[in-house]
Structure formats: structure tokens, C-alpha cells
Structure 1
Amino acid sequence: MRLGRILTAMVTPMNDNLEVDYQEARRLAKYLAEHGSDGIVVAGTTGESPTLSGEEKLELFKVVKEAVGKNVIVFAGIGSNSTAASVALARKAVDTGVDGLMAVVPYYNKPSQEGMYQHFRTIAEATPLPLMLYNVPGRTSANLLPETVLRLSEIPNIVALKEAVGVMDQVSELKRILPEDFEVYSGDDSLTLPMLALGCSGIISVASHVIGDEMKKMTDAWFAGDTKTALQWHLNLMPVFKGIFITANPVPIKYLVNTLGLKAGKVRLPLVDATPEEERFLTELLQKIKEN
């Protein structure tokens, strides 16, 4: 199953009362589809998954898939640190029309490698949908090791991994031992090109909300064999890749999406909005990229 090169981890638009704005979610999804995104991940960390209810997530899955149709793949973020809760949400997500599921390594309870294996296997066996694993030790305090991913790759509908470990040796080991058709995606915008060089498939991106067209030029150049142009794009875009994490994600990217005239709204507590100084930094950051 080929998932594309750039999948955007979409923010969840909120209205002034911090209720999910489903109409703006449709609008944003269509915008992303028109600006470089081959796919969209809904209700991931960037989508403020910890503060979304199950009902809100299911409605988001439905409206985003309806908005983009068959041309853009939609993955539903159903993972949590409860296997039973993840399975229950995964089963309900099937009826929303999404193309696949994404589940993060269980956070806070720090499972063993065997615990992670059993967690993901149980989720995968609960539905026929393709499942993408998500490894982000900086948020979960647990690292899904390559040997465990290899075991999981033997389960037919576990098809991909979003890898945000940030260690190229681990990525190299993944690519060394995994089947060629098992797709590995960067979970960090700044590591997109380095991970492409290691044979990975693309990026689950935050930055693509605002520089999706430019990122598409970078990945297109790489896959066309024009490594010099791809590198130049990487270097040009690096300030945005790093700058959008000046404070907790998705605070900066929501602010920038708002500046584009798309109504992403604000963030729910315990996150708080960007400070005036952070807003000035982010505005100047994006202006410099767009002027070059």
C-alpha cells in the first residue's frame, strides 16, 4: 500500500468557544490537499488528541475524509495508552470511511517491547484497516525498537511506521531489517531529507500546513534524482522546520495557519496561545521563507 510522500498531521480547528469547528476542518483539509499533501493524519498530537473526546475524533475522521474524497488518503489517530480504548475507537473509525489508522506507542505506562508488540497486534487484529505505528520517545518515554517493528511487520495490515526517534542509526537499522514494502516515515520535518536518503518514504509533517508546496518541490526533486535541488530546499526550509517548535506543538503552527486566513482558532488547555514575542518571531519566519 503506497501512502504518498507528504502526509500532514492536521491541526484541529476550534471556534471562539474552543469547540471543534468541523466546517473549518473541511476547509483546511481541502487546502492541504491542494498544497502538497498526499495524505492527512487526523487527531494526532498536532490535532490535540489528548483533549479531544472520542465523539469529536470520530466526527473529524468523517468530515475530513468526505472533504478530500478518494484523491487523498486519511489516517485516523486512534492510539492511546489503553489498548482496550484504542481498539474500541479503531472499530468505530472503520465506519467513518478513513483509509487507515495510526496508533502511538503507549505513553506514561512505559510498556516493555513485548507489551508494545501485544498492544499493536491487538489493535491491528480488531479491524481490517491498514495500521501505521508511531514511535515518539520524547513524548511517550518508551522507544519502539527495530526488532519489535520487524515482528509487527509480519502482521498483514501493519504497513508503516512514523519514526520520530531522531536517531539515524535506529532508522538505518529499521531500513536494514524491514521488508522493502514496509513504509517508514519521518516524524520530524527537519529530518525529512536525511531519512529519504536512508530509503524512507516521506514525512508526516507539521510544517506542510504552511510550506506544503515548497516541501513538495523538495521531495519531488529528491525522487527525481536531483539531490542538489532537494538539498537547497532542505536548507532553505530548515528555519521553518525548527522555528515552528519554538513552543509546544501545535501552538506555533495553529498561529501560522490563522495568519494564512484559515481559521484554526486557539488551543485547548493545558496548552496556551503563543506570546506576542513568539507571534512576531513566527510571522517574520514565514515571511522570510515566502520571500525567497
Structure 2
Amino acid sequence: MLGPQIWASMRPALSRGISRNMKGKKVDIAGIYPAVTTPFTATAEVDYGKLEENLNKLGTFPFRGFVVQGSTGEFPFLTSHERLEVVSRARQAIPKDKLLIAGSGCESTQATVEMTVSMAQVGADAAMVVTPFYYRGRMSSAALIHHYTKVADLSPIPVVLYSVPANTGLDLPVDAVVTLSQHPNIIGIKDSGGDVTKIGLMVHKTSKQDFQVLAGSVGFLLASYAVGAVGSICGLANVLGAQVCQLERLCLTGQWEAARTLQHRLIEPNTAVTRRFGIPGLKKTMDWFGYYGGPCRAPLQELSPANEEALRLDFSNNGWL
């Protein structure tokens, strides 16, 4: 990571680089992205070979791109070196025409800038920055606007805001999103809160900006499209990629009845691999569907036999297993 002196000295150069980037058209992030898991060996080392295998299989679906080092990627459990290596290996594995969005959020603004710059250097097309939350009681709209503005000012790649209150206990306020949408290097938000009213309000209040809203889960994807979202970053796409892309097509072509039917069949499986059983559930499901899920890194634990059976029922009852 970069030291304080390097941090200070790089500001002018980075600012010049960003001003050149901002002259062009912003990156269009509309579409479906799997929130890629990080594979581990039995000894809890990152398995880069399995990562490549999974990405190659996922590459057969019409995704807009891939998101690595988000919540599904267990990024808080990885070292800085591992986080960067995952991004580097992912860039090598996915087609050049697919976007690679890398989660670069850290608790401090300085660390986030350093991580974002480093991820750009190893091939990320955009950075997804989660809200800092450890001192959540002090994370007012003003604090969050200041944080994201500094990151976007110094990032050589576009920034996507990331609100995931189930994990952070902090919901990025609409007023902060509206203010940040005016920054020329902030291009959108992944909102995982599940409040469709908020998603619609963000779309409405940022409509004059070149800003896009992505749903953070398949469970409310149809509703999000209905109020103006342009896609989703979702864990379920790791196992039901074809079906999630089909839901996207149905919504974009106005086939709402068929979309509603498919959405209903995806709600229980999506809940199972997110809120109910989390990443251990998603990785177990990946094993069933021909991908490598494997173990999580401690302290996350594997599912109990009873939970595994409940997970299987959520998929089989809806016709997916």
C-alpha cells in the first residue's frame, strides 16, 4: 500500500489523469453482473485456478460484466495483496469486452483511494466502493459525501457507490446519493437495501445526471426495473445466470407477465443464498450446479445438514434442482 508521502505526492498527477478521463463518455454499466465468489482451498488459501474456471463457465452467459471483491467475494477476510491478485487474475480470465468492477472499499478514505488506484493498475474498469461503517454513528451525509468525493477525485477509474445496510448497518441516504451523482467520476450505485421506493426516488432525483442505479439482489429485480433501475449485481447469477439474464430480457422488452412469473420462482432461491444462508449457502449451491463453491474462509462456517436440506428445498420447490 502507499505511504503518506506517496499519497500526498500523487494527488496532482491523479487529478490531471482524471480530468482527461472525464472528457470522454461515462461508462455504461447497465446489465447483469454476477457478484463473484472467492474460491478457497481446504487450507483456506485463495484458489486462483478455481476462480479462473468459474469465470470461464460464467463467461458463457450474456452478462455485462463481473464484480469481484464485493460482499459475496468475502473481501473483508482477504489481505490487500489477495484482493489485488483476485482482480488481476479475473481481468486475465474474462473477455476484454466485459466490464470488471472491483470492490475497493476500505474503512478510511486514504486506504480506499490507495486500494482503488491499485485495482485500476491491475485491470479494473470501475471501482465499487462500500460505505465505511465502523464508526457508523459519525457517518452523516456530510461525512459520506466528503469520503466519496475524495475517492472519486483521485480515482483513475469511475466509481460506483455501494450501499449494503444488511452488512454495514448503514444505509447511504438519498440526499447523499443525489449530491454525489453530480460528481463527474461517480457513475452509479449498487443498492442492496431492498427498498424499491428508495430506488425509484434515486432514479427520479438523479434523472438529470449521467447516473445509473443497479439493484443489489435478484429478489427485487423486476420491481427495480419497473421504477427505472438498469440492471443488477447479484449473487444468484453465480448459479442461475441464464435465468437472471432472461428476467432482464423480459423486463426490457415489456413482457411483464412472464417476468413476474419468473421473478416469483427466483425469490426463494435468492433469499436462501443471501439473507437466509448467505455465502456458505451460495457456495454449496454452486457445487450442485457444476461450479466450484468450496469452503468459506473462517469465521464463516459450512452449513449444517439441516440447513443444507432446507437450501436444497428452496431450489427444488421452484423447479431449479
TM-score tier, shorter chain, comes to over 0.9
Which residue pairs with 1:77 in the alignment? 103
Instruction: Give the superposition deviation at 1:261.
Output: 3.0
- Which residue identity does 2:300 align to in structure 1? L
* Structure 1 equivalent of residue 23 of structure 2: none
Conserved? CA contact 1:26–1:64, under 8 Å:
yes
Instruction: Report Cα offsets for 1:243-287 as digits up to 9, x if no partner.
Output: 223645211001111222322210111111111111122233334
Extract unaligned runs of 5+ from structure 2.
Answer: 1-26
* TM-score, normalisation: structure 2: 0.87
> What's 2:31 paired with?
5
TM-score, normalised relative to structure 1:
0.95
1:47 aligns with one of 73, 82, 94: 73
Which residue identity is paired with 2:272?
G
Aligned to 1:120: 148
Match of 1:232 among 261, 268, 273: 261
Tell me, which stretches of 5 or more residues in structure 1 are unaligned? Answer: none
1:290 Cα deviation from its structure 2 partner? 4.5
- State the distance in 2 between where 1:282 and 1:142 align: 28
% identical equivalent positions: 27
Q: Distance in 2 between the 1:260 and 1:143 partners?
A: 33
Structure 1 residues 56-67: aligned runs within 5 Å:
56-67=82-93
Amino acid at match of 1:87: V
- Counterpart in the other structure of 2:172: 144
Cα deviation, 1:141-182, whole Å, max 9, x if unaligned, reads 222112111111111110010112222222222111103531
Equivalent residue, structure 2, for 1:176: 204
Provide the secondary structure at the position in 1 that maps to 2:71.
coil
Separation in structure 2 between the aligned mates of residue 100 and residue 278 of structure 1, nearest angstrom: 36
1:186-229, CA deviations, whole angstroms, 9 ceiling, x for partnerless residues?
A: 11221111110001011111111111101111110110111111
Where 1:71 maps in the other structure, the secondary structure is coil
Q: Helix, strand or coil: the match of 2:45? A: coil
Count of residue pairs the alignment pairs up:
292
Deviates more, 1:275-284 or 1:126-135: 275-284
Report the structure number with the largest CA radius of gyration: 2
Alignment of 1:1-292 (within 5 A): 1-110=27-136, 111-179=139-207, 181-245=210-274, 247-290=276-319
Q: What letter corresponds to residue 122 of structure 1 in structure 2?
A: K
Asked if the contact 2:163–2:172 (Cα under 8 Å) also holds between the matched residues in 1, the reply is yes
CA root-mean-square deviation = 1.6
Q: Aligned partners of 1:265, 1:170: CA distance in 2, in Å?
A: 35
